[in-house]
Structure 1
């Protein structure tokens, strides 16, 4: 049914990337992942079997340097892998994305000389699973402020009290990267650290019953004095927009890898649309619908947008990896990539449904599931309004007052 695993990878022009990714994400592994996706969605269940296979394959330590026990991939390698994984099981790809975001951010920070983040790379190599405890209800400042209270003890440990939403990997994480605002204030009140699952003072609400991306099991996490030892506190920042390297490392990793997942959804939707158009026959002409000029135009338009996104994704990710200096234009570029990826994915899935016939509207069809999964894109930071504020500021300057 349309291009297979090798054909999707063949679109990557770098033979090194193709070899690395296919060695870990083998066709057999990906077939099993795809076969399990419908049941995870139907049962609203975490993708335990997928995660176990990906850990065994070494995929969760892909970005860890070889000298620390990882696979030694770079960010373009991982983006290719996430795009391919998302084409087989979007929710599984989005789930492991959050682990990869922390490893990617830590990799950037260590490369810049911030050795306190080395523990993330070492623990990822030891198969610890990192989750993203950043999002909070009503916090549109994202990384620039927090509604979670942080209390610093005399020994340097920090206790966090607050609510974190969309905690992907909730059933399995062993390390939760989080932040909060120091109740005592100061010039750098935002405190970042990594909570161990064995710690007291937190609980996970079993509240993930959503339209799509169900296998991520992104429960709400309630922090009630959850203590992070001093050695696991990694950064303090001001509570305001700033260009700290950690802010860039998290934003660039999060938005780049998120774009990879949604690009992969578009890849699969177009793949299915081509297959359905070729397998259906018009009763009026007796010809395959793949010869219908309207359908050909729609699919060509979808392909056009996918190829534009492909070029954008590769370019931005390569610039992140090589440390290109875009100065003040970095954040506009990153939010544009995220917005383009989620918009394009929605448009391509919509086109696929239009050309594939009413049978794909059934709840258990793969396109129906992709349609529900792709809608999650509207809720990821930076959302559409935030992206436009960033772009408007870059063009017109900040609003006064």
Structure 2
């Protein structure tokens, strides 16, 4: 099944046609989400026997790349659901069935989101500022604040984690679980008013003692880096699908740059198209070569996840390297596209103006530039001397 089969052109154009209004009104993509659900898009990773499309990570990444050419914010928020279902798929392929229920519930129409990010927590998945208090019977009560919770208006299942500081003889333990929309003890703030990616509505979620019963707690891990398959699965799906979104954004910017270069004419050169200008041609070629370097990297990393390839300690450098390359390449290509498109792209409401704002979000997603370079340096050079 190709991305064109999953997202036929009429559906893609319908989604593209809404993106500007969502951005202008700072509104959530309710209509896009409805159409994507009806098309089976939220079931990309759900097995075909359960009514899903039964795709792997490589195919899902190409679908996300295609969706992002129409509406990057829609694709970015949809990523959060696809990451959780992708994590369940990746674990299942490796014999770990702890998140099979995620695929089962996604098959029934549940929408999953991430409630992991915390302000000031640069340890990301390896520590938490959220308190996880154990309850009788094996459940936990969570107190903390989660930021960038995409899909805030629509999720029905939110993955959260926090730290039980007293566990493991005081070393602490990170507790992962899911809450449902009907749970009590959490608040979603109306605070999403950002420069770009506005339709994602990634609002702050405050956990005010929300309880997760024992049967919704799916992992307890030590504080700090560890080799648990869950960590690999989250990084593999998050970084790869994120890279796919920014690859699609860059792809669209290049297309617009080419169209604008052909459309614009030079007064001083007798009305000749700017597509004949050597400097413009250089910039378009520069953007095209940058994108051509990104596409195979995205395809290769995703295919290796599907193939259960063994990269050992090089897996995380590959994943974070892909993310940084995708977000930085997309940012560079958008900039080049604006340069060849002229002053009209600077006006509010142009598609390139929106892409310029959307692409800046890439620098804030984990792993950020500094963390990624540290990961890669450690893999190749070893850790810094203490």
State the TM-score, normalized to the length of structure 1: 0.94
Q: CA deviation at 1:343?
A: 0.5
- Structure 2 residue aligned with 1:304, among 286, 289, 311? 289
1:155 and 1:115 map into 2 onto residues whose CA distance is: 22
Match in the other structure for 1:393: 378
Q: CA deviation at 1:219?
A: 0.3
Match in the other structure for 1:335: 320
- Where does 1:1-400 land on structure 2 (aligned, <5 Å)? 16=1, 18=2, 21-186=3-168, 189-285=173-269, 286-400=271-385
SS in 2 for 1:240: coil
Tell me the matched-pair count.
383
1:211 and 1:230 map into 2 onto residues whose CA distance is: 40
- Conservation of the 8 A alpha-carbon contact between 1:44 and 1:209: yes
- Conservation of the 8 A alpha-carbon contact between 1:188 and 1:236: no
SS in 2 for 1:199: coil
SS in 1 for 2:194: coil
SS in 2 for 1:373: helix
1:100 and 1:194 map into 2 onto residues whose CA distance is: 15
| Deviation readout 1:81-114 (Å, 9 max, x if unpaired) | 1000000000000010010000000111122232
Q: Which runs of 5+ in 1 are unaligned?
A: 1-15
1:244 and 1:125 map into 2 onto residues whose CA distance is: 26
SS in 2 for 1:116: coil
SS in 2 for 1:163: strand
SS in 2 for 1:237: strand
Q: CA deviation at 1:183?
A: 3.5
Q: CA deviation at 1:24?
A: 2.5
| Deviation readout 1:91-149 (Å, 9 max, x if unpaired) | 00001001000000011112223222111000011110000111001000001111111
Q: CA deviation at 1:188?
A: 6.5
1:339 and 1:90 map into 2 onto residues whose CA distance is: 17
- Conservation of the 8 A alpha-carbon contact between 1:130 and 1:174: yes
Indicate the larger mover: 66-75 or 383-392. 66-75
SS in 1 for 2:190: coil
Q: Which runs of 5+ in 2 are unaligned?
A: none
- Conservation of the 8 A alpha-carbon contact between 2:158 and 2:179: yes
1:25 and 1:195 map into 2 onto residues whose CA distance is: 30
| Deviation readout 1:329-372 (Å, 9 max, x if unpaired) | 11111111000000000000000000001011001100000000
SS in 2 for 1:177: strand
